[in-house]
Structure 1
Amino acid sequence: MNPAARRVQRVYLILLLGNTLAASFIWGINTLFLLDAGLSNFEAFAANAFFTAGMVVFEIPTGVVADTVGRKASYLLGTITLAATTGLYWLLWVWSAPFVWWAVASVLLGLGFTFFSGAVEAWLVDALTSTGYTGSLEAVFGRGLVVTGVAMFVGSVLGGVVAQATDLGVPFVLRAVILVIMFVFAAVVMRDMGFTPDRSLGPLKATRHVLSESVEHGLRKRSVRYVILSAPFASGVGIYAFYALQPYLLELYGDPSAYSIAGLAAAVLSLAQVAGGVLAPRLRGMFAKRTTTVIGASLISIATLILLGLNSLFWLAVILLVVWGFVFAVAGPVRQAYLNDMIPSKQRATVLSFDSLFGSLGGVFVQPALGRAADLGGYGTSLVIGGVVELIGIPFLFASRRQHDPADTNTAKQAADQ
């Protein structure tokens, strides 16, 4: 890897580190935070669904910012929006606000995250290309998973400990502070490279153009279409399971006030993510096709979720959590690389945002439905149902595989050669 490419990767990894550290302060206690504010399980996961609904609504308009103003501008807008809405979340908790205000705040949080989705990843790929980088994208995305895994471990453990030592609101304040710091860092060091924003169209025409390009390079290309269509099932279930595991582990542990144990769910996942990020490029090299890795990891994920739901032992749940996090981390970089290699540079942020939109769309419907299942039959039942729902996405991955896209058999160098 040449010095310019190494600098791009370094900036990307620092952005991931800061963003994940900020986010993970509340990952271990978010569901407990919402329940403590007086919401039911259905309302708590409905609030999360409004967050993903916000991502669906704003995904395309904010994609216009990334493709017509710039990737850096999109990142900065996302950072400052998230900092402000995180502060609003904390205020709602202080005021014990009714559910309708949580719904509004969650939609605004979704707006903040849509500025991120696609933009940072597109910035990385375009910038690496402009530096002459010829290595594998799996290796870079794998390193990104290692960094986010470490940040997630530190943030989730600290978030749980801080919440137990103070209250459930302090981690949200810490999150907002770190986001402000990341805003300043990105404003100073981030530069759009290998990409020239197209400002020739007005906002409305640009939005229509972005939507048209998303369809043209996303849904109309079969190999890309089927990967995108699989996203609602895996993403919707994945988001629900991540947050449901917080109270579920407390339930199995037998102490509903042990917030540090709730943080354990995110911490365990982070360590599994580090291992998955390190091994993803190597495991990918064991198979001729990228889709083999993604499909295999998805099937293991489904089986693990079902076993988690049927299990009643705390220590076994922790082991299954490690397996679930590991296979999720292995599939992530390979899926990212597969999708990126099928998308033209000029439309990269647009189509990646479109993929994120479909993933968020799954969360809008899956989360409240599984939350209601948890109210009626318990968290275990909801996880079993979640595994069945995720299974619906597998045929779409097989359909993408059958298109025999060259990106499925990309033979770029392994991380060890870079």
Structure 2
Amino acid sequence: MDRKSSVVARYYAYMALSTLGFLIPVWVVLLDDARGFTYTQISVLDVVFFGTILVAELPTGYLGDRIGRRNALAISSVAIGLAATAFGVAESFESFLVVYVVWGVAQTFRTGNDSAWLYDALVRYGEPESFTRVRGRGLAVFLATNAVTSVAGGYLYAMDPTYPFYATGVVNVLGGVVVATLPEAVVDDADRFTLREARVALSRLAAPSLRGFLVYAALFYAVGWSVDLFVQPISLDAGLDAVELGYLYALLVGASALASNYAGVLAERVGVARLLHGAPVVLGVAFVVLGLSPLAAVPVFLLMRVLLNVTTPVAEGYLNDRTPSLGRATVLSAFSMAVSLASIPVKLASGPLADATTLFVTIGALGVLLLVGSAVVFAVGRPVEDGVPARVVESD
């Protein structure tokens, strides 16, 4: 195995050990059923999480460029492991607030840095064009591991509600050990990232060529992942128990893994612009259908997971192609921050709406929001440029 293959293999191992699968099928069950929280309270916790990301994303993205992206990823894995363990034992709403803040900060050390590290590693080996393929397969490994551990998580929860969270803590700490063996991107002292360069990097997202894409993608991911919150309570209302939820999530995440694995192929065949333009429209229509027909729940949830995950490496690749290496983590962190910003009002509205009406009415309303918002962005201009994206060439 050559050095590049060894690095990619360890990257895949890191992605596998970053799994949250043990807790994915039961975390809302713990909050809703075991702790007795309302949808409004759960949404507030999510708002705190995304608000923390909003505040911490740029500083940690900047730190990732300064202290090294590998080191930032190691910090993130260990901190997420500790937060997951605390999630399982927390009892009061105030305790969960603290856990969500810690988890939010830990997550920001990962977002942006993982994608930027991989892109720079592939550039180092002269293969930047393989980013979407490797990133897509890495996400597929992550999702496939989530699928397997989701089944185990259901059984663990049936044994003791804390066990899935302990298991998540252990594997993520091990992931921190693995990521510490990866090579760090070498940055000359003359090229160290400064605050001035951070402002320049962020100005790229405000450029007309990326502004529409930023708004369009942020709305898509904010609405999509907000609906994901309701999968578990809808499943419980349909009569599923924790073990059956594990198998359901194995199906959902397994389909996501398959889609993510073929993200590069799909982008090449369909086209980046067509894929990123079409996904929000298709998902918005699906949510409206689910709001009118609860029998469509499983197909719509499958479609939702596939669209959210198949577009992630394509959207990241689109940004990477338009961002120089120095500051790439900060730009990607800013993109994550935009998603967090868009998620806050969506969460604040969807939780109380679900408490006041029904989960299906709320999902239908979110579908309308996604369709109307997408139409408004398109009325201003096409969010994604047509054709093969141009490579960014760094000046000396």
TM-score between both structures, scaled by the size of structure 1: 0.86
Please list the CA deviations of residues 107-138 of structure 1 after superposition, one character each: whole Å capped at 9, or x if unmatched: 11100000001001100000100111153432
Q: In structure 2, how many angstroms separate the alpha carbons of the residues matched to 1:176 and 1:212?
A: 36
CA distance in 2, matches of 1:402, 1:178: 38
Q: 2:177 aligns with which of 181, 184, 202?
A: 184
1:124 to 1:264, Cα distance in 2 relative to 1, 3 A: same
Letter in 1 for 2:183: R
User: Which of 345, 348, 352 is the matching residue for 2:332?
Assistant: 352
Distance in 1 separating the partners of 2:13 and 2:375: 34
Cα distance change on mapping 1:402 and 1:269 into 2, 3 Å: closer
1:32 aligns with 2:39: no
Aligned residue identity for 2:242: Y
Q: Which residue matches 1:370?
A: 350
Residue identity opposite 1:190 in structure 2: L
1:224 matched to 2:210? The reply is yes
| Cα 1:58/1:112, change in 2 over 3 Å | same
The answer to whether the 8 A contact 2:13-2:178 is kept is no
Alignment partner, residue 283 of structure 2: 301
CA distance in 1, matches of 2:105, 2:169: 16
**1:231-250, Cα deviation, whole Å (9 max, x unpaired):** 43222222222221111122
Q: 1:363 & 1:265 partners in 2: Cα distance?
A: 25
In the other structure, the counterpart of 2:262 is 279
Q: Which residue of 1 aligns with 2:153?
A: 159
Distance 1:311 1:197 in 2: 59
Separation in structure 2 between the aligned mates of residue 182 and residue 38 of structure 1, nearest angstrom: 32
Distance change (3 Å), C-alpha of 1:293 and 1:197:
farther
Name which of structure 1's ranges 399-408 and 123-132 shifts more when overlaid on structure 2. Answer: 399-408
- Write the deviation string for residues 74-104 of structure 1: whole angstroms up to 9, x where unpaired: 1111112212222322231xxx31x233222
Paired residues for 1:231-250 under 5 Å: 231-250=217-236
Which residues in structure 2 correspond to 1:6-405 (within 5 Å)?
6-19=5-18, 21=19, 23-35=20-32, 36-92=34-90, 96-97=91-92, 99-164=93-158, 166-187=159-180, 189-193=181-185, 195-196=187-188, 206=194, 208-209=195-196, 211-219=198-206, 221-251=207-237, 253-255=238-240, 258-287=241-270, 289-313=271-295, 316-391=296-371, 392-393=373-374, 395-396=376-377, 401=382, 404=385
SS of residue paired to 1:304: helix
* More displaced 10-residue stretch of structure 1: 341-350 or 80-89: 80-89
Aligned to 2:394: none
What is the one-letter code of the residue matched to 1:284? A
- Indicate if the aligned counterparts of 1:63 and 1:115 stay in contact, CA closer than 8 A: yes
**For 2:382 and 2:389, how far apart are their aligned partners in 1?**
7
Quick one: structure 1 residues 132 and 37, their matched pair in 2 at CA, closer, same or farther if it must change by over 3 Å?
same
**1-structure distance, mates of 2:97, 2:374:** 28
Separation in 2 of the partners of 1:369 and 1:175? 30
Whole-Å separation in 2 of the counterparts to 1:273 and 1:24: 13
Distance across 2 between alignment mates of 1:403 and 1:79: 33
Task: Report if aligned partners of 2:82, 2:169 keep a CA contact under 8 Å in 1.
Answer: yes
- Any unmatched runs of 5+ in structure 2? 392-396
User: Structure 1 stretch 375-384 or stretch 390-399: which is displaced more?
Assistant: 390-399
Task: Please tell me the root mean square deviation across aligned C-alpha atoms, in Å.
Answer: 2.4
Whole-Å Cα distance in 1 between the matches of residues 197 and 348 of structure 2?
30
The TM-score, its normalising length taken from structure 2, stands at 0.90
CA distance change for structure 1 residues 198 and 240 in 2, over 3 Å: closer, same or farther?
farther
Counterpart in the other structure of 1:413? none
Alignment size in residue pairs = 389
Q: Which amino acid aligns with 1:371?
A: G
Q: Distance in 1 between matches of 2:94 and 2:105?
A: 17
Instruction: Give the C-alpha shift of residue 282 in structure 1.
Output: 2.5
Q: Is the 8 A contact 2:212 2:383 kept in 1?
A: no
Change (3 A) 1:267 1:307: farther
- Percent of aligned positions that are identical: 25
What letter matches 2:136 in structure 1?
Answer: G
Please say if residues 132 and 263 of structure 2, whose CA atoms lie closer than 8 Å, have aligned partners that are also in contact. yes
